[in-house]
Amino acid sequence: MKALVFLMGIILTSNFVFAQKYSTKTGKITFEASVPLFEDVYAENNNSTAILNSDTGDIASLAMVNGFTFKVTLMQEHFNENYAESVKYPKTSFKGKIQNFNKNDVSGKPKAYTISGTLNFHGVDNAVQSTANVYLKDDKIVVQGKFVVKTADYKVKIPKMVAAKVAENVNVNYNFLLQK
């Protein structure tokens, strides 16, 4: 009988612990570094992983760099081989916190939050801050936001020959539909 009570306690506790985490493996991250009069520099990754601890507001995401797709295959090839060096640096990650997050405040109406944390790309860690909307949709938590990074801050070298065609500031957008 004691063993049964102990086992039930473990099962109930483990369900409680897991109930606080929301995650996805199909998050969307896009970036855009276009300049006027030149071809769009835009890519998206629809297989990003993200996890949110709804008790603490801690949030993290991970994406495979070679998972970003471009409209132009040659642009994607150059991105992976020359700029992102995705063989050497295969992943990009973010680890941070949704400031003043309270899971009881999350509803169907989007609420703006600030997310602060560290973005790792190209082997470089930098602090980033993002504005994000957080809301409920079909018992899932949606986190949508954006931020801007500079290529130079991540030691990404853009050759002079194409530097005029690629923006120095890169607009990053993300959309995560997180479920228990």
For the chain, the structural domain boundaries read: 21-178
pLDDT at 105: 94
- What tokens were used for 105? 């405040």
pLDDT (tens digit, 9 = 90+) per residue, 50-77? 999 999 999 999 999 999 999 999 999 9
Torsion of the alpha carbons at 76, 79, 81 and 84, rounded to the nearest 10: -140
> Quick check: 67 and 29 in contact, CB under 8 A?
no
Element (H, E) at 112: strand 111-121
pLDDT in tens, 119-146: 999 999 999 999 999 999 999 999 999 9
Rounded CA-CA distance 55/66 in Å is 33
CATH topology for 21-178? Lipocalin (2.40.128)
